[in-house]
């Protein structure tokens, strides 16, 4: 028996270095992250539903239909789900802030006043989209998404901004017509015209006060205050309640929140991204 040769021991298989699964899809990059993982991670849908959306051809990457299993670099591609752009880049931040009166829309104030960035209280570099005057309250969007920010602030994209103004006096028909049809001269030069002006409330009397909702699609400095002053309705209080599709709703003064994917998608849509 001792002469019977022992069978050779099976040699351990050589270990292969871990490799990403082969890239799939025309623009798939092997070092990227699987699309369904990114969609699920961004809270767009569960992993399984994300796979289903890709399988059904409802997800595009840079305009072409995505393939299940493909890997993408979320910082470099534009992904859309059912035709709506989604933000998959974890480095992109989008916040809505309810700016209180007295807080300035700059990153540093030489007079030492509280800035909108002080209110956010964290180090990530986001910047306000456009500006609100120091006494103006309400909705301010802050982001580090440069292209979106540029388009939202640029008048050529005509993103409507809605303000509720408390004014001295009572708006007559002539004032409303001038504001919305003829346009009124403003100190910067030229004229300004509102998309709409709606009288919300009037408290008549010697010290009459009114509430008016004004929609404009530009961000020139003091534009709403100047327009209302031009028709003898000086502003006592000004609150921005809406910026494009984004609403202030019940965000408490001085507080902020991250935008949802649906809100970011609606902003992209508003400026054709």
Which residues belong to the active site?
133
Binding segment toward ligand URA, per CB under 6 A, in 15-23, 43-51, 198-206, 223-231: 223-231
- Measured torsion, CA atoms of residues 116, 141, 186, 174, in degrees rounded to the nearest 10: -120
Q: Which residue has the tokens 């508003």?
A: 270
| Shorter beta-carbon distance to ligand URA: residue 132 or 141 | 132
* Chain position whose Cβ is nearest to ligand URA: 136
Residue 269 structure tokens: 């849509």
Shortest separation between residue 215's beta carbon and ligand URA, angstroms = 11
Among 196, 93, 88, 214, residue whose Cα is nearest residue 144: 93
Binding segment toward ligand URA, per CB under 6 A, in 80-88, 89-97, 167-175, 221-229: 221-229
Binding segment toward ligand URA, per CB under 6 A, in 22-30, 78-86, 131-139, 204-212: 131-139
Distance, first Cα to last Cα, the chain? 81
**CA distance readout (Å), 158 to 171, 191, 247:** 26, 16, 17
Q: Does 141 bind ligand URA (CB under 6 A)?
A: no
The contacts found for 142-148 with CB under 8 angstroms, 24 or more apart, are 142/93, 142/94, 142/95, 142/96, 142/97, 142/116, 142/117, 142/256, 143/92, 143/93, 143/94, 143/95, 144/91, 144/92, 144/93, 145/87, 145/92, 145/93, 145/94, 147/273, 148/267, 148/268, 148/271, 148/273
Q: Which of 93, 224, 239, 271 binds ligand URA (CB under 6 A)?
A: 224
The contacts found for 44-49 with CB under 8 angstroms, 24 or more apart, are 44/81, 44/86, 44/261, 45/81
Euclidean distance between CA atoms 225 and 53, whole angstroms: 48
Q: Does 126 bind ligand URA (CB under 6 A)?
A: no
Q: Does 133 bind ligand URA (CB under 6 A)?
A: yes
Q: Does 136 bind ligand URA (CB under 6 A)?
A: yes
Number of residues located near ligand URA, criterion CB under 6 A? 8
Shortest separation between residue 212's beta carbon and ligand URA, angstroms = 13
Q: Does 99 bind ligand URA (CB under 6 A)?
A: no
Q: Which of 88, 104, 129, 132 binds ligand URA (CB under 6 A)?
A: 132
Restricted to residues 229-268, the positions that interact with ligand URA (CB under 6 A) are: 238
| Shorter beta-carbon distance to ligand URA: residue 222 or 257 | 222
Shortest separation between residue 222's beta carbon and ligand URA, angstroms = 4
| Shorter beta-carbon distance to ligand URA: residue 223 or 264 | 223
Which residues are near ligand URA by CB under 6 A? 132-133, 136, 222-225, 238
């Amino acid at each position: 028996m001792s002469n019977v040769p022992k069978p050779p021991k099976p040699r351990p298989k050589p270990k292969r270095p871990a490799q990403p699964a082969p890239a799939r899809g025309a623009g798939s990059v092997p070092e990227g992250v699987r699309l369904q993982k990114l969609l699920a991670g961004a809270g767009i849908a569960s992993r399984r539903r994300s796979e289903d959306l890709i399988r059904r051809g409802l997800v595009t990457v840079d305009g072409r239909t995505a393939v299940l299993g493909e890997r993408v670099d979320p910082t470099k591609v534009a992904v859309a789900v059912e035709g709506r752009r989604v933000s998959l880049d974890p480095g992109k931040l989008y916040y809505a802030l309810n700016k209180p009166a007295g807080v300035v829309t700059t990153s540093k104030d030489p007079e030492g006043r509280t800035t909108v960035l002080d209110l956010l209280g964290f180090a990530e570099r986001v910047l306000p989209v456009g500006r609100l005057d120091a006494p103006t309250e309400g909705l301010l969007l802050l982001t580090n998404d440069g292209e979106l920010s540029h388009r939202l602030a640029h008048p050529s994209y005509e993103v409507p901004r809605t303000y509720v103004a408390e004014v001295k006096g009572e708006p007559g028909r002539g004032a409303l017509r001038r504001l919305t049809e003829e346009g009124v001269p403003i100190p910067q030069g030229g004229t300004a015209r509102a998309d709409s002006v709606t009288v919300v409330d009037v408290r008549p009397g010697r010290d009459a006060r009114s509430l008016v909702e004004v929609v404009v699609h530009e961000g020139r400095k003091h534009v709403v205050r100047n327009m209302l002053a031009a028709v003898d309705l000086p502003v006592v209080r000004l609150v921005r309640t809406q910026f494009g599709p984004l609403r202030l709703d019940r965000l408490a003064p001085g507080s902020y929140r991250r935008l949802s994917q649906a809100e970011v998608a609606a902003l992209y849509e508003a400026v054709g991204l």
